[in-house]
Structure 1
Amino acid sequence: MDRFFPILEWLGNYKKGYFFSDLIAGLTVGIILIPQGMAYAMIAGLPPVYGLYASLLPVLMYVFLGTSRQVAVGPVAMDSLLVAASLGTLAITGIENYIAMVIVLTFLVGAIQITLGLFKMGFLVNYLSRPVISGFTSAAALIIIFTQLKHLLGVKIPGSSAFHELIMNAFVKIAETNLYDLLIGVLGILIIILLKKVNKKIPSILVVVILGIASVYYLNLEQFGVKLVGFVPSGLPSFQMPGINMQLVSELWPMALAIAMVGYLEAISIGKAMEEKAGEETIEPNQELMALGSSNIVGSFFQAYPITASFSRSAINGDAGAKTNLAAFFSIIMVVATLLFLTPIFYYLPNAVLASIIMVSVFKLIDIGYAKQLWIHRKDEFFVLLITFLATLSIGIKEGILIGVLISLLLMVYRTSNPHFAVLGQIKGTDYFKNINRFEEDVVLQEDLLIVRFDAQLYFANASYFKKELFKHINAKGIALKGVILNAEAINYIDSTAANMLKKVILELQEKGVRFYIAGAIGPTRDIIFSSGIIHLVQRENLFVKTKAAVAYFNNPEITEGLGVKIAHQNKTYSN
């Protein structure tokens, strides 16, 4: 039961001293969660109250099922933008229909995450490399910031997931700017930034919210056209079945898959960062999928939209001293109290204040420092980041991350199809065999022997490259060559295409009177050498544990390796 309900593990070992830390952390996060949740709901195109709905049952489910002790889940900017971008491509009329579609999308996100968790597919997130994520999140942050210009300027600006269209739409509407909205928004941004610089523990977001509500109420700013959140329905969300049908599922599942994967990646990356800081490893990737999936499915029955881990709130949660997931329970209590008693106050909250909160919160997602590092040290990965960034800005959110993943996979295929191929020589006075290009003056070479190392798995994509490189060096040796030793230490797999290629190479060398040896093959590779029939051409006596043994045997075939021979020949099929 501990595996399915991680709460049982930490609750059984809960210490009294944890309670106060969890209480303070939970209340601190709750103070941030309420205005942030309302702001992020606006990014998703939903009424602000839906951000509070997403901060209740989904968060409670994570308390029971989540494996991280410090992660704070709930509405986040990235998922909110993905929801808006996903549904923005569909012809939806009326806010009620839009909300219904969001709820169905939330259910599908949860169902996909649970399915991936059940089939232990958490490893799929590894295909979202860091350059792709950095490029995507930086572009998404810019798009989020510019989608908030309509609230900052107090004008109606058509939305778009393409950055250039957002800029053009905003430029056209600049003349209609409400200066009161602009002043409120700019002051909100400045206050949040300044308070964070003074002391990070000051709840700057709460301060801005209180100042915004008070200024509207006491100065009667509504009469000057300041746009307000307006009526926020009180009470807890009611139970409603999502209106699921096959047509909706066929339309929404690709978008749901993107949100599910990005949300999972956020949760895992944030959770790992929090673990490293806390010095305690508790995250189990597939259980995290189950936890997030359950949170989203249950949330869809109570009018929530997709949730995941929050960068900012998780950091605040950890800094405030959270010890367990119980901290999230106290955050939920604050949200419940707000929905039951405080919603009338939020009528006077300016949209420009929420826009300022969003802009400051997402700005830190723009990671220029990482891009600079890649430009200096990893230019190929920098271009993956740049292409993802530009595609996300110019084409769209979903398309950007898809293009980034494809480019990243193409780079991986290119690298594995053109891996490092080294010619080895013996370091003078030692038994070490190293790359002759790195140790030119310190290696001893034999004219009649070629030693090579291939630093990758040998498969269909690099088989021809291996053969081309091998024969390039064989031809360079000329007629003096009598033996070739393949150092196979880095080869962890040989597929059928590569095995056939290798057999042809060995036969071709034997016809020229050149003997072929294999040294350092690991267990799985030895199994393939035997099962594929390569062993019938190489012969057992030409299989060695170490390169130095192969060299010694080439120079004097009377030498045997004793136990080393037995190890070199050991395999699943033909073990001695």
Structure 2
Amino acid sequence: MSTPASGPAALSWLAPTLRGYRREWIGPDIVAGLSAGAVVIPQAMAYATIANLPVQIGLYTCMVPMLVYALLGGSRAMSVSTTSTIATLSATTLLTAGVAADAENPIPDLMALTLIVGVILLLARLLKLGGLVEYISKPTILGVQIGVGATVAIGQLPKLLGENIEPSAEGFLRAILAAIRALPDANTATVLLSVGSVIALLVLKRFAPKVPGPLVLVAVGIALMAFSGLREAGVALIDPVPQGLPPFELPSFAHAAGLVPGAFAIAVMVFLESSAVARSIRRPGEPPIESNRELFAAGAVNAVGAFFQVLPAAGGFSQSAVNRAAGARSQLAALVTVAMAVIVALFLGPVLSLMPQAVLAALVFVAVAALIDVRGLVGLWRLNRSDFWVAAVTTAVGLTAGLLVAVAVGVIGTFVVVLRELNKVRLAVDEPRGGVLTVHLHGPLYTANALSYESAVLDAATAVPGLRVLVLDAAQQRALSVTVLDALRELDDELAGAGVELRLAAVPDGAAEVARRGDWFAGLEEQGRVFDSVEAAARD
């Protein structure tokens, strides 16, 4: 039985997925929260190592971000922590800004990065840019993800081989060289543990998808380190995990200027990943996902989380899919996951400290290898070559010049493709009748394409001998800028010089209202050359 919503209307934005909550949802939400936690907690800890940060940073990222999203977000089942893409971009940003991986304390700079990401997202919400960010194409995201997958997968090889070589956040080629250099000195026990871990994850994913593979692997790895001779055989442990909750601290802005470019790239990917996940797991009948609400939630998640030592956070597909599959009906499931992470942080630090580095590296390797979507590239090649080249160039740039540059190139490439499509002249020309030619504009005129349309219409008029009247169907012209009006006036002058009368037909009311403020369009109406329909304008 539904519980009616209560409270002042001013708080209608708070916890939208918990309004009208039903008692029968409690069981599924608890099961879903525990299931998602079994995946996201070890996974987030592994992702922290991508950014060269202590594993507890990943654990903290399963607390505050999830809690804030549960209070503000509109997706019923999305689970918010960090992702492999976001963690990799964070590592690259910190390195580019001059925050070395071996710095005495990189955490304050990480907090500054997360805060800047949150502020950028909140400013974007203030400017209502939710829809604009979504114009960034799927090929761009695919290219960035392939670059992330390949770079991070190769970067994990030294850990999988048992070599204490710092994972590279500097690009694909350097990571390959580091892995090759590590081969002669590989630790046999570590290699066997790594291979076994990767195989176990793949087998569980293929034949037992409901089993939380990451949790099983972590438990087995800890048990092996505790009760076998792996440590004596040279298998390395992760750094000790402190017990307790993340302390409230203030960020350091010593490297803020260097963090801003990367923060923009991370903010774009945070919103794109979160939006994609939220829409993909939404059930029919659930409230639609509102871009600007999600933009605000993503900004608040990172702005608040920044003060509690978290990585930039976004909706993660794998844990969200587990959450949904386990029956999550609201963000109460996320609150259960938060409680699970708190218990782990308070009581299981010494146990987690027995985790082998190779196990975490195997978790990362399998997770990011799934991002190398060759089938997706092949599909783009078959469907749309322009989209394929956007993805391919973005990937190539990511593997050579770095992931931050790849995001910038991909975004620019997307807008180039969009502008090229907008600039295409789309018009249809009817058969001339009695010296009257009708031209239908099938695309809107705006500043960049107005002259191209003017030239195309003049060419159509020139091709008809004895033309007396040209009717321009402007039904698609929802707005008339100064540049467009100037182009139409010039078209009128050119046609008049050739003895052809220009008539405008079906101009939308909003565009006509703006155009009347100018002398040319007002004069056109006075002369009776603006008509409500094409049929009326074409009458001789």
Per the normalisation by structure 1, the TM-score is 0.87
In structure 2, the residue matched to 1:467 is: 454
- Map 1:25-40 onto structure 2 (within 5 A): 25-40=32-47
1:98 aligns with 2:106: yes
In structure 1, the residue matched to 2:287 is: 281
Does the C-alpha gap of structure 1 residues 306 and 380 become closer, same or farther in structure 2, counting only changes over 3 Å? Answer: same
1:38-77 per-position Cα deviation (integer Å, ceiling 9, x unaligned): 1011011101111111111222122212221110001221
Among candidates 374, 377, 381, match of residue 383 of structure 2:
377
Quote how far apart the aligned CAs of 1:182 are. Answer: 2.0
CA distance in 2, matches of 1:450, 1:354: 71
Quote how far apart the aligned CAs of 1:282 are. Answer: 4.4
CA distance in 1, matches of 2:295, 2:159: 35
Contact 2:114–2:311 at 8 Å: present in 1 too?
yes
| 1:485 partner amino acid | V
In structure 2, the residue matched to 1:11 is: 18
CA distance in 1, matches of 2:104, 2:125: 32
Quote how far apart the aligned CAs of 1:506 are. Answer: 1.0
Contact 1:185–1:356 at 8 Å: present in 2 too?
yes
CA distance in 2, matches of 1:181, 1:281: 48
SS for the counterpart of 2:516 is helix
- Structure number with the bigger relative contact order (C-alpha 8 A, sep ≥ 6) is 2
CA distance in 2, matches of 1:524, 1:391: 44
1:120 aligns with 2:132: no
CA distance in 2, matches of 1:169, 1:217: 30
1:115-160 per-position Cα deviation (integer Å, ceiling 9, x unaligned): 3223333233124222211111121121121121121112134514
1:340 aligns with 2:346: yes
In structure 2, the residue matched to 1:487 is: 473
Which stretches in structure 2 are left out of the alignment for 5+ residues?
1-7
CA distance in 1, matches of 2:14, 2:332: 9
In structure 1, the residue matched to 2:61 is: 54
SS for the counterpart of 1:223 is coil
Deviates more, 1:531-540 or 1:459-468: 531-540
Tell which structure's C-alpha radius of gyration is larger: 1
CA distance in 1, matches of 2:61, 2:52: 14
Among candidates 180, 199, 208, match of residue 217 of structure 2:
208
CA distance in 1, matches of 2:10, 2:180: 54
Quote how far apart the aligned CAs of 1:423 are. Answer: 1.6
1:134 aligns with 2:142: yes
- Map 1:222-301 onto structure 2 (within 5 A): 222-244=231-253, 247-275=254-282, 277-301=283-307
Contact 1:79–1:306 at 8 Å: present in 2 too?
yes
SS for the counterpart of 2:371 is coil
Quote how far apart the aligned CAs of 1:225 are. Answer: 1.3
Does the C-alpha gap of structure 1 residues 353 and 4 become closer, same or farther in structure 2, counting only changes over 3 Å? Answer: farther
Does the C-alpha gap of structure 1 residues 471 and 290 become closer, same or farther in structure 2, counting only changes over 3 Å? Answer: closer
SS for the counterpart of 2:504 is strand
In structure 1, the residue matched to 2:528 is: 541
1:170 aligns with 2:153: no
CA distance in 1, matches of 2:224, 2:159: 17
In structure 2, the residue matched to 1:351 is: 357
Does the C-alpha gap of structure 1 residues 523 and 362 become closer, same or farther in structure 2, counting only changes over 3 Å? Answer: farther
In structure 2, the residue matched to 1:517 is: 503
Deviates more, 1:373-382 or 1:135-144: 373-382
Contact 1:485–1:519 at 8 Å: present in 2 too?
yes
SS for the counterpart of 1:146 is helix
CA distance in 2, matches of 1:138, 1:109: 23
| 1:521 partner amino acid | V
CA distance in 2, matches of 1:316, 1:350: 25
Contact 1:463–1:497 at 8 Å: present in 2 too?
yes
1:67 aligns with 2:54: no
Quote how far apart the aligned CAs of 1:268 are. Answer: 1.3
- Map 1:396-435 onto structure 2 (within 5 A): 396-425=402-431
Does the C-alpha gap of structure 1 residues 4 and 379 become closer, same or farther in structure 2, counting only changes over 3 Å? Answer: farther
SS for the counterpart of 1:486 is strand
1:190 aligns with 2:177: no
| 2:138 partner amino acid | R
1:376-418 per-position Cα deviation (integer Å, ceiling 9, x unaligned): 2321222112211211121111111101111221222222223
1:404-452 per-position Cα deviation (integer Å, ceiling 9, x unaligned): 1112212222222233232234xxxxxxxxxxxxxxxxxxx43623222
Quote how far apart the aligned CAs of 1:540 are. Answer: 5.6
CA distance in 2, matches of 1:116, 1:465: 33
1:464-509 per-position Cα deviation (integer Å, ceiling 9, x unaligned): 211221222222213x211111121222233212211211221221
Quote how far apart the aligned CAs of 1:294 are. Answer: 2.3
CA distance in 1, matches of 2:143, 2:16: 38
Does the C-alpha gap of structure 1 residues 4 and 168 become closer, same or farther in structure 2, counting only changes over 3 Å? Answer: farther
1:298-323 per-position Cα deviation (integer Å, ceiling 9, x unaligned): 22222222111101001110000001
In structure 1, the residue matched to 2:401 is: 395
CA distance in 1, matches of 2:171, 2:261: 19
CA RMSD of superposed structures (Å): 2.1
CA distance in 2, matches of 1:160, 1:46: 12
CA distance in 2, matches of 1:510, 1:100: 69
Quote how far apart the aligned CAs of 1:333 are. Answer: 1.5
| 1:381 partner amino acid | D
Does the C-alpha gap of structure 1 residues 190 and 290 become closer, same or farther in structure 2, counting only changes over 3 Å? Answer: same
CA distance in 2, matches of 1:336, 1:196: 27
Deviates more, 1:219-228 or 1:487-496: 487-496
Quote how far apart the aligned CAs of 1:297 are. Answer: 2.5
1:196-233 per-position Cα deviation (integer Å, ceiling 9, x unaligned): 22231111222222222222222210111112114211
Quote how far apart the aligned CAs of 1:288 are. Answer: 2.2
Among candidates 301, 313, 321, match of residue 315 of structure 1:
321
| 2:276 partner amino acid | S
Contact 2:17–2:75 at 8 Å: present in 1 too?
no
SS for the counterpart of 1:55 is coil
SS for the counterpart of 1:120 is coil
Contact 1:5–1:65 at 8 Å: present in 2 too?
no
Deviates more, 1:91-100 or 1:178-187: 91-100
| 2:523 partner amino acid | H
In structure 2, the residue matched to 1:566 is: none
1:223-260 per-position Cα deviation (integer Å, ceiling 9, x unaligned): 1111211421111122222234xx53322222222212
Contact 1:447–1:477 at 8 Å: present in 2 too?
no
Does the C-alpha gap of structure 1 residues 514 and 325 become closer, same or farther in structure 2, counting only changes over 3 Å? Answer: same
| 1:371 partner amino acid | L
| 2:505 partner amino acid | A
Quote how far apart the aligned CAs of 1:10 are. Answer: 4.0
Does the C-alpha gap of structure 1 residues 279 and 145 become closer, same or farther in structure 2, counting only changes over 3 Å? Answer: farther
Which stretches in structure 1 are left out of the alignment for 5+ residues?
426-444, 555-576
How many percent identity over aligned positions?
32
